[in-house]
Amino acid sequence: MALWFECKVRYDKMMENGSVKKVNEPYLVDALSFTEAEARIIDEMTPFISGEFSISAVKKTKISEIFFDDSADKYYMVKVNFVTLDEKSGVEKKSSSFILTQASDFDGALSRFREGMKGTMSDYEIASITETMLMDVYPLDLSAEKSPE
pLDDT tens across 64-114, in order? 999 999 999 999 999 999 999 888 888 999 999 999 999 999 999 999 999
Which is more confidently placed, 144 or 93?
93
CA distances 144 to 37, 140, 148, Å, are: 16, 9, 13
- Rounded CA-CA distance 8/134 in Å is 9
The yes-or-no verdict on residue 133 having pLDDT over 90 is: yes
Mean local confidence (pLDDT), 8-13: 96
The predicted pLDDT at position 142 comes to 74
